[in-house]
Structure 1
């Protein structure tokens, strides 16, 4: 059955662009007013939540956020801090411009005051996870996997060196697993009610809607993490398009998702996790476009390896750490499909520490690290070739030649 394209004419394209541009400009104006409120006085004071802590020699660098903005600041080591803790800060605003306000700025703190610990559902889950584990690295791992609480820099490099940072940052990969678990839980609970009271309704569609509701509350819990927000919006659009027989797996859908997020949340224009999430889905769609006729058994293994290899030139333009162990990333990704839902269940029943000793062995593994940077000219050529692959098979052939050459350079010649 042929699916309908959402935008099928230049007129529809023009009005769609006008729609997104109008929303974007409105929200830029809204953000600018928040910026003016911030810099109205040379000093600004308020209550903030600690997002992440960077331990330096003589001080801490804190990433903090309020409902309106987030920023970095330095604090002496007279006090101890923890993530999700609330703190009063007075900061200097004289050197903050609007671009920095959107991107995320640094401000000097002239006064701070720690606040009494308050309760929240998210903090209760965090404490519950922490109580199940002894190793700080494992605590941070599961706080990141379940609550999207950032991992400290020194521990984050472990996952970067293994080439599995995408597994730690909550995104579409995790959403797909969560959707599967939530869908079938609701399926068994709703089937009886449907059979008894709502036989006239489309059971699968109802379950999808209920799944969306559960996911939305989870999105609220993790503070609308950009990569997860992208996945949620695409899932929402997918459910809507499915109902109306509109093509779901298309570059149009991906572009609309990106424009929706940037239009309503202009700050996310500077979110590298959002862009990585978008790029990841882009290459998944390319894979589906050109490898759709590959036998299923071969496709199961080819998918993870190709996505890993095709993403490397992009990743190494931003993150330089390289190791031969990164070649294990596709296998670890396959294993993670079992590990993640299993750990979710074990934590739910209070047995989250069951495999801790094996996780510690993994985290303690030592490897040789070297740095490889994607040259700027190659990065530009690679991005242009990737975009061209949407329309031309010859560009896709060139893309595969480039990814092979880069990965040989990365792991063999360097």
Structure 2
């Protein structure tokens, strides 16, 4: 989104003056994919970024064809395509966590659209529903493998929002020689107390939660049950398990 937005600032004035007949989505989409493809190659194609890039590529092609993107069928198609092209992804934990996170984003977008009203507002979705919802819904999945529990984890939704402007800003600051500007703040963040406790969910609990989550794509009741289960687990973790040293 950032790359596309920056390029559009340069493209729109030129388009209006010299080539108004050009389709911006086609031109900027191709340019954005080229830039992101170079970045993906530079960082040696980690599975989570590879999944994102392939989804973006297919989404761009489908947008050009006028196809609906917010569908679980589209997500399933991308997953199977990636596994067919890169079979080793089946063994990548980061890939499956990435897929799970995107699936929960789709769930939130789907049921927010059904609910309508304030829940469909893009600012409400971007600043609260998605970051907080993903944090809550992913907790049982993550704790199936990683049991570290600390109250500082509750900062994750806020930090994920702050990271969006921070990352490109940090790159710009490093490019102009001001890369140390945020060092003191980052050092304070990294020096927060590190006390934690371990709590790992059992395999059957994670499997049950996974089945509930899969059913949530078709049933509002099951979506409510999934969200309730995740909230109850969050409450249990941070009221009875966690410990901030």
TM, length-normalised to structure 1: 0.54
Of structures 1 and 2, the larger Rg is shown by 1
The Cα shift of 1:280 comes to: 0.5
SS at 2:143's partner residue? helix
3-state secondary structure, aligned to 2:180 = coil
Q: Deviations over 1:196-240 (max 9, x none)?
A: 543321123211111111111111111111111111111111111
Corresponding residue to 1:279 among 100, 108, 126:
100
Cα distance in 1 for partners of 2:16, 2:232 equals 57
Q: CA deviation at 1:190?
A: 3.2
**1:289 paired residue number:** 110
Instruction: From 124, 137, 150, give the equivalent of 1:310.
Output: 137
Aligned to 1:55: none
1:338 Cα deviation after fit: 2.3
What per-residue deviation string (whole Å, max 9, x for no partner) do you get for residues 327-377 of structure 1? 111111122222222112212222111111111111111132100101111
Q: What residue number does 1:385 align with?
A: 212
> Does the 8 A contact of 2:108 with 2:129 survive in 1?
no
Q: Superposition pairs for residues 242-253 of structure 1, below 5 Å?
A: 242-253=63-74
The Cα shift of 1:401 comes to: 2.1
Aligned runs of 1:59-70 on 2, under 5 Å? Answer: none
For residue 220 of structure 1, what is the aligned residue in structure 2?
Answer: 41
Structure 1 position 403 matched with structure 2 position 224 = no
Match status 1:350 vs 2:171: no
Find the counterpart in structure 2 of residue 8 from structure 1: none
Structure 2 spans left out of the alignment, 5+ residues: none
Q: SS state of the match for residue 212, structure 1? A: helix
Larger helix proportion of the pair:
2
Map 1:225-240; keep pairs closer than 5 Å: 225-240=46-61
Alignment of 1:297-376 (within 5 A): 298-299=124-125, 300-376=127-203
Alpha-carbon contact 2:70-2:110 (below 8 Å) kept: no
Deviation of residue 388 (structure 1)?
A: 0.5
- Displacement of 1:294 after TM fit? 4.8
**3-state SS of 1:400 partner:** helix
Matched, 1:201 2:28: no
Distance (Å, rounded) in 1 between the aligned partners of 2:14 and 2:131: 39
Counterpart of 1:318 in 2: which secondary structure? coil
Give me the whole-angstrom Cα distance separating, in 1, the residues matched to 2:171 and 2:195: 32
How many residues were matched structurally?
235
Q: CA deviation at 1:265?
A: 0.9
3-state SS of paired residue (1:390)? coil
Deviation, structure 1 residue 185: 3.0
**Greater relative contact order: 1 or 2 (C-alpha under 8 angstroms, separation 6 or more)?**
2
Equivalent in the alignment of 1:118: none
Superposed CA RMSD in Å reads 1.7
Distance in 2 (CA, whole Å) between partners of 1:192 and 1:354 is: 33
Deviations for 1:11-61, whole angstroms, at most 9, x for unmatched residues?
Answer: xxxxxxxxxxxxxxxxxxxxxxxxxxxxxxxxxxxxxxxxxxxxxxxxxxx
Which secondary structure does the structure 1 equivalent of 2:144 belong to? helix
CA positional deviation for 1:192: 5.0
Task: Compute the displacement of 1:193 (Å).
Answer: 4.5
**CA contact 2:25–2:64 (8 Å) conserved in 1:** no
Q: Cα deviations across residues 133-188 of structure 1 (Å, max 9, x unaligned)?
A: xxxxxxxxxxxxxxxxxxxxxxxxxxxxxxxxxxxxxxxxxxxxxx32x2233223
Query: Matched residues in 2 for 1:286 and 1:231: separation?
Result: 17
The two structures have a TM-score, normalised by structure 2, of 0.90
Work out the CA distance in 2 between the residues paired with 1:354 and 1:400: 40
SS in 2 for 1:317: coil
Consecutive unaligned residues of structure 1, counting only runs of 5 or more, are 1-178
CA distance in 1: counterparts of 2:227 and 2:209, whole angstroms: 10
